[in-house]
Amino acid sequence: MPDEVHKARSKDYRERQWSNWFEQRPAGEILIVLTDDETVVGFALSKPNNDSDIDAAGEMHAGYILPDYRGGISGPALMKALAERMQSLGQWPACIWAFKENPHRRFYTALGWHPVVERDRVIAGAAIPEVGYTSPDYSDLSGRLDRMLASAVQRQTRQPSQPTADRAHLAS
């Protein structure tokens, strides 16, 4: 991210943004929070899609997992929980946007998401290339996530730094 984006999206900015979200609880938005004990280690947020550049009912809008929790069950658990809620609310098919330079976006194509739009997103005056993906069939995604979770659980040695799939908490 360019420096001007980091400056514009400071800790104070994010604290106000999340405080407003919890006060307003926008209709149709879903927040999944992943915790390890009582520490938040990741989150995912979705909303109804209102972007005319991509054809989808819902948008997986934001997500982040702390580096120490990546590569195991966290990503698939978050996406599965979010996809299940979106499907139940009629927000499927879905889309997701990823910055082109984000090395973690390969996760989406591995799960069958289809890149369909490339454009620049302007944040704080900086144009940042991004890619828009449309979702695979819900059943296909669910099956792939189930297999990915099973494989991650099999590899997991129950390290205390890896939360279990049943510790994903939902706030919507």
Question: What does the pLDDT read at residue 172?
Answer: 45
Please name the residues in contact with 151: beta carbons below 8 A apart, sequence gap of 6 or more. Answer: none
130 three-state secondary structure: strand
Domains for the chain: give ranges and CATH numbers.
1-13+51-157 (3.40.630.30)
Asked whether residue 9 carries a pLDDT value surpassing 60, the answer given is yes
Instruction: Name the pTM for this structure.
Output: 0.84
CA–CA distance, 14 with 131 (Å, rounded to integer): 23
**Arithmetic mean of pLDDT, 52-56:** 97
Asked whether residue 34 carries a pLDDT value surpassing 90, the answer given is yes
DSSP 27: T
Distances (CA, A) of 36 to 24, 45, 161: 26, 18, 7
